[in-house]
Amino acid sequence: MQHKVIDTKDVVIRFAGDSGDGMQLTGSLFADMSAIFGNELSTFPDYPAEIRAPHGTVSGVSGFQVHIGSGHINTPGDFCDMLVAMNPAALKANAKWLKRTALVLIDGDTFDEEGLKRAGLKSDPIAELYIEDRTIIVAPITTLTEESLKDSGLDHKTIVKCKNMFTLGMACYIYNRPMEYVFKYLEKKFSKKHPELIEPNKKVLKDGFNYAANIQAIPNTYTVEPADQKKGLYRNITGNQATAWGLLAASEKSGLPLFCGSYPITPATNILEELAIHKNLGAKTVQAEDEIAGICTAIGAAFAGSLAVTTTSGPGLSLKSEALGLAVMTELPLVVIDVQRAGPSTGIPTKTEQTDLNQALYGRNGECPLVVMAAHSPAGCFDAAFNAAKIALEHMTPVLLLSEGFLGNGSEPWLIPSMKDYPKIVPPFIQPNTEYKPYERDPETLVRKWAVPGMAGCEHRVGGLEKNHNGVLSSDPQNHAIMVAERAMKVEKVAEDIPLQQVYGSESGKLLVVGWGGTYGHLLSAVQQAREEGLDVSLANFDYILPLPKNTEEIFSRFEHILVCELNSGHFVNYLRGRLPQFSYSQYNKVQGQPFLVQEIVAAIKDNL
């Protein structure tokens, strides 16, 4: 067979198998080596929702999709150019994501009668799944791994676990990936505790590469050239890592110690874990006994003068709502990070959605305003977390930052910034021995002064009961009305300190696509595609939700139609209908625990035009 090396601008690879097949690691290593090679990329880990689902079943399939390119990459891709399926269930679960031209790499050793039965397939899965027109490579990957390591001295169970490295070696050949990064990773990972695993893993990786090079079934290999990136130091970073680092940067710029009190919850746990690593930077972390304790310890830390943070997902945010009211009433700075997942209740805990916006805006008793923000990309979580902390500290208010499972677990290359390019954060501390009225406000911003325990002459009461400007408990009706109005207006005045909303595309026209948070990459790709087809469409994706940017009304007025797209049943569009009722809104919604597909948004754009 004549072999071709095809230069392509981008490819999408999906690795899938049982939870124990190491597909998350395989995909992560493939993404990291591509980042080091210089490619732009976007990843989408797709975890099973069931803990220890039965082996070989569709419910237990774990996937990792990576989209690499020589140009800018906004999404992990709609459909894949290559699928690695380590068992029949992985093939069944992911056949729908195959392009017509896709290459499918199968571990033939798992496609026995028992494996097919567990996946709910019959004797011919290729025909049953209607993928006969794809290029199918059935390789005895488990057997080849056993043969590769038969003289390694490792036990059989450990040998079989190495088959993901054999698969990664095949992928490295097909897509011309340099394996040196994986060698370094193996040396670093196993050098201290299990040095005996380094050489066997290197060997099986190289054997997988050589096997793919020697068989005649692979018609083509592919090259994706490095992207033309701005010069600097890059790393591949997940949204949760970027969030943690953004908080650490805010701690540095404010001069305040960072405290995070949290209860572990999917998919937010990695933020707490990442912060716990950095005690050398002054970060203090408490793994609390529950969500309520997590936020209450953070409120205590805020009272004591720390940059206080708590992290959670939707069910945990529900539990934190009463304490959030306390933070609003005491007007203490607090950053609450909600990495959203599918609900209600426990829902589908490993799947992404945007279904907490209503809870973020309205989920508290009484008149209880706070700032609501959203992160729009994995790398963008750094700036989002930094800005959330800056607003909380300088405006003496809780800030609720909405991330998403897709962002928190996904990754992309990040140009590591210089801290000199970030502004100082200046909390409004009062000077000791100054006449102190706890709720006396700055006439412009309505921000109160911050006094911490130990400041001489600044003793005051805190708590959930209403007070007057002097900090004295008050149930006077007129005072309550004044304080309610001032707390609300203080949050609205944050609009003076946030950027104006940007529009991608024409500044006016027929259709404006509106989104918020993590739908940004998919909406941007769809709008770019639609504009290339000659359609009159632009995009506004919002990072700031409460308050809205000052120019929102002006932007909306310049377009004939507004289409709001979000991964819920219409939270943002209904919020906009309340805030800016003079405009007519259409909506496109998806509530499936999955990100948008670009083609879905393009179709919605065409329908609206």
Predicted confidence at residue 4, as pLDDT, reads 77
Predicted confidence at residue 19, as pLDDT, reads 84
* pLDDT higher than 70, residue 595: yes
Is the full-model pTM beyond 0.75?
Answer: yes
* pLDDT higher than 60, residue 2: no
Structure tokens, 192: 């201290």
Sorted by sequence, the CB contacts under 8 Å of residue 274 that are 6+ apart come out as 240, 241, 244, 245
Which of the four pLDDT bands, split at 50, 70 and 90, describes residue 53? confident
- Which tops the pLDDT comparison, 555 or 152? 555
Contact 313, 360 (CB under 8 A): no
Which of the four pLDDT bands, split at 50, 70 and 90, describes residue 50? confident
Instruction: Report, as an integer, the average pLDDT of 421-428.
Output: 97
For 170-183, how does the pLDDT look when each residue is reduced to its tens digit (9 = 90+)?
999 999 998 999 99
For residue 537, how far is the Cα from the chain centroid? 27
Predicted confidence at residue 220, as pLDDT, reads 85
Spatial distance between the Cα atoms of 267 and 18, rounded to a whole number of angstroms: 20
Q: What is the CA angle 187-281-184, rounded to 5?
A: 10
For 107-132, how does the pLDDT look when each residue is reduced to its tens digit (9 = 90+)?
999 999 999 999 999 889 999 999 99
* pLDDT higher than 70, residue 462: yes
Predicted confidence at residue 35, as pLDDT, reads 92
For 204-259, how does the pLDDT look when each residue is reduced to its tens digit (9 = 90+)?
999 999 999 998 878 889 999 999 988 999 999 999 999 999 999 999 999 999 99
Secondary structure letter of residue 465 according to DSSP: S
Average pLDDT of the chain is 95
For residue 177, how far is the Cα from the chain centroid? 26
- The Cβ of residue 159 has, within 10 Å, a number of other Cβ atoms equal to 20
Domains of the chain, CATH where assigned = 4-223 (3.40.920.10), 236-421 (3.40.50.970), 509-608 (3.40.50.920)
Please name which of 150, 37, 19 lies closest in space to residue 86, comparing C-alpha atoms: 19
Which of the four pLDDT bands, split at 50, 70 and 90, describes residue 422? very high
Concatenated DSSP letters for 375-433?
--STTTHHHHHHHHHHHHHHHTSEEEEEEEHHHHH-EEEEEPPPGGGSPP----BPPTT
Predicted confidence at residue 3, as pLDDT, reads 67
Predicted confidence at residue 212, as pLDDT, reads 94
Structure tokens, 577: 């209908």
Of all residues in the chain, the percent with pLDDT exceeding 90 is 91
Predicted confidence at residue 49, as pLDDT, reads 83
Instruction: Report, as an integer, the average pLDDT of 589-594.
Output: 96
For 348-380, how does the pLDDT look when each residue is reduced to its tens digit (9 = 90+)?
999 999 999 999 999 999 999 999 999 999 999
Spatial distance between the Cα atoms of 380 and 385, rounded to a whole number of angstroms: 9
Predicted confidence at residue 67, as pLDDT, reads 97
335, containing H or E segment: strand 334-340
- Bridge partners, 564 (sequence order): 514, 587
Predicted confidence at residue 20, as pLDDT, reads 85
Please name which of 183, 187, 188 lies closest in space to residue 209, comparing C-alpha atoms: 183
* pLDDT higher than 70, residue 136: yes
